[in-house]
Structure 1
């Protein structure tokens, strides 16, 4: 479920889902299709070691949202010029 809310004076989309990367990718693609504007999304890397994050992903299936979201978008939209931008810092 996606709904618009105002938080700290900013209009944001609030989404409820059990699969974060796929949901973010789906919302970005829907925004692009509805508005004709290529959206972007900004992420931060999670704290901790990359090796620890990899092991957690292999054992529990959870991990970094940014690279998984980017990969979902890459597979869903093969044309790079139409693909929403993913920024990570």
Structure 2
């Protein structure tokens, strides 16, 4: 499945686990597609969370899920799903 995906700078991004992981780690730190976004959130000096927001439709509240940084691949699969 292909999806229009952009990073936090508004640039198109390949819709793959590798590209999303690379942009989160070394790029803008935020990736968006229709109905979902994933980004890094600093929770303190050394703590970070990966946040995934998913929307079922325009009028709904997002489903928000937090992941520990060591669970980044699980977070990306949730974002892509």
TM-score of the pair, normalised by structure 2: 0.27
TM-score of the pair, normalised by structure 1: 0.25
Higher RCO (CA 8 Å, separation ≥ 6 residues): 1
Which structure has the bigger radius of gyration? 1
